[in-house]
Amino acid sequence: MEQVVLELKNLQTTFQSGKTAVPAVDGVSLHVRKGEVLGIVGESGCGKSVTSLSIMQLIPSPPGKIAGGEILYKGEDIAKAKAKRMKRLRGKEISMIFQEPMTSLNPLFTIGNQLIEAIRNHNKISKKEARAKAIQLVRDVGIPRAEEIIHEYPHQLSGGMRQRIMIAMAMSCDPEVLIADEPTTALDVTIQAQILDLMKSLNEQKGMAILLITHDLGVVADICHRVVVMYAGQVVEEGTVRTILKQPKHPYTQGLIRSLPKLTERKQQLYSIPGTVPQPGAIEQGCRFAERCEFAFEACFQKNPALLELEDGHACRCLLYEGGNEDAG
Ligand SMILES: Nc1ncnc2c1ncn2[C@@H]1O[C@H](COP(=O)(O)OP(=O)(O)OP(=O)(O)O)[C@@H](O)[C@H]1O
Ligand code: SF4
Ligand SMILES: [Mg+2]
């Protein structure tokens, strides 16, 4: 098996609110291997972006803080890395595509300047070679007229194009790990497919490990190898794509799958899980999904379920599988 490049162990990220440190990410453990695409899914507010920003040490602080756990990049705990080390890691070793496209583009410089600078920061190549590489990257993300586009400024491009330039920036230094936070949500379907293909080929050809955050289980089925399902700041299920999509065990994952439209059924009423994700810190006792769970029983409101491995690589956080009845399976 390939080497684990990035591993989170019991990550805790909190936001200070008055006197309370509210846990937005509450004990998350996960790992991604070289050549692997790991999907992170879960409803809005469950802590996906906070997890990825924590890895990059980009949590706004204050009020945010990595309050506990480890973030191991090739064995080095980068949760404790100094600013200088992080600056070298970002871009060169670990790149991120942000949910908000303008976050990583500077409005004052042309697209070409920014790409060339990013490429030359991490590679000892001439300006001419870097320029050629920049043009190729712009083409790779499906933008026509690449030679002209590199002379333009971010505000001259459409939102979708900016998103693609940002993807080109993130890919410009062949990072070992690419973290992509909803990279294609704002794009139309054709461009989305193009970008996913591009990510897939980088993953296959260069062995780039990818952490892909998405709402879209269709995207997961298309490019991920394994999936982590998050709920209210915790991992509630983890397994291979096949297991998660075909044999989900956690009632929340089952709800997510049920809410997917099926191509084979023409007329259908889409299922949606009742209720909403609780605010971080709102539930002090019991399973965080209990209020919304159709299988909830008494113990669910009292006991915190642990994330238990059911079989090789398939783990689930639910009392039904802690020696209880297994109706939900
Ligand atoms: N800067 C911040 N200050 C205070 N709370 C924050 C901050 N950023 C995030 N949070 C809280 O952390 C929790 C997790 O947010 P996060 O952005 O990780 O959700 P998400 O899973 O990425 O959702 P989405 O799918 O909408 O992007 C939320 O409850 C959010 O309100
Ligand atoms: S522990 Fe109980 S409430 Fe939580 S998901 Fe399992 S059955 Fe539902
Ligand atoms: Mg997010």
The per-residue pLDDT for 116 is 93
38 in a domain, yes or no?
A: yes
Helix (H, G, I), strand (E, B) or coil at 197: helix
- State the total domains in the chain: 2
Cα of 278 to ligand 1 centre, how many Å?
A: 12
Per-residue pLDDT band for 195 (boundaries 50, 70, 90) equals confident
Assign residue 77 the CATH number of its domain.
Answer: 3.40.50.300
Whether the Cβ atoms of residue 107 and residue 114 lie closer than 8 Å to each other:
no
pLDDT in tens, 92-117: 899 998 876 666 788 899 999 999 98
**213 and 278 in one domain?**
yes
Overall average pLDDT of the 186-194 stretch = 77
Residue nearest to atom 30 of ligand 1 (CA): 45
Overall average pLDDT of the 114-130 stretch = 89
Domain with 149, as residue range(s), is: 105-174
What average pLDDT is seen over the chain?
A: 89
136 in a domain, yes or no?
A: yes
Site to probe by mutation for ligand 2, drawn from 320, 321, 322, 326 as the one with most ligand atoms within 8 Å of Cβ, is 320
Ligand 1 binding site (Cβ under 6 Å of any ligand atom): 15, 24, 42, 44-50, 60, 63-64, 99, 280
307 in a domain, yes or no?
A: yes
Locus of tokens 């980009």: 58
* Domain boundary residue, one of 146, 174, 202: 174
The per-residue pLDDT for 161 is 84
d(CA 124, CA 191): 32
**313 and 204 in one domain?**
yes
The per-residue pLDDT for 329 is 46
The dihedral built from the CA positions of residue 122, 125, 126 and 130, taken in this order, carries a sign that is: negative
**184 and 163 in one domain?**
no
99 in a domain, yes or no?
A: no
Atom of ligand 2 nearest to the CA of 321: 6
The per-residue pLDDT for 263 is 56
pTM of the model: 0.91
Overall average pLDDT of the 247-272 stretch = 80
Cα of 247 to ligand 1 centre, how many Å?
A: 29
Task: Report the percent of the chain where pLDDT is more than 90.
Answer: 61
Atom of ligand 2 nearest to the CA of 295: 7
pLDDT in tens, 20-64: 999 999 999 999 999 999 999 999 999 999 999 999 999 998 999
**303 and 251 in one domain?**
yes
Residue 33 gets the label, from left (phi > 0), alpha (psi -120 to 50) or beta, of beta
**215 and 185 in one domain?**
yes
Atom of ligand 2 nearest to the CA of 290: 3
* Domain boundary residue, one of 121, 144, 174: 174
**273 and 205 in one domain?**
yes
Residue nearest to atom 3 of ligand 2 (CA): 290
d(CA 8, CA 109): 35
325 pLDDT above the threshold of 50: no
**229 and 81 in one domain?**
yes
Ligand 2 binding site (Cβ under 6 Å of any ligand atom): 251, 287, 289-290, 293, 295-296, 300, 305, 318-320
**209 and 156 in one domain?**
no
**73 and 20 in one domain?**
yes
Cα of 252 to ligand 2 centre, how many Å?
A: 8
pLDDT in tens, 283-323: 889 999 999 999 999 999 999 999 999 999 999 999 999 87
269 in a domain, yes or no?
A: yes
**190 and 165 in one domain?**
no
CB-based burial, 163-175: b 16+ in 10 Å, e otherwise: bbbbbbbbbbbeb
Cα of 35 to ligand 2 centre, how many Å?
A: 34
Cα of 41 to ligand 2 centre, how many Å?
A: 18
d(CA 36, CA 176): 11
Q: Which residues on neighbouring strands pair with residue 73, listed in sequence order?
A: 6, 76
**57 and 11 in one domain?**
yes
Helix (H) or strand (E) holding 218: helix 217-223
Length, in residues, of the chain: 329
Q: Which residues on neighbouring strands pair with residue 213, listed in sequence order?
A: 40, 181
**276 and 205 in one domain?**
yes
Overall average pLDDT of the 193-200 stretch = 83
d(CA 13, CA 5): 21
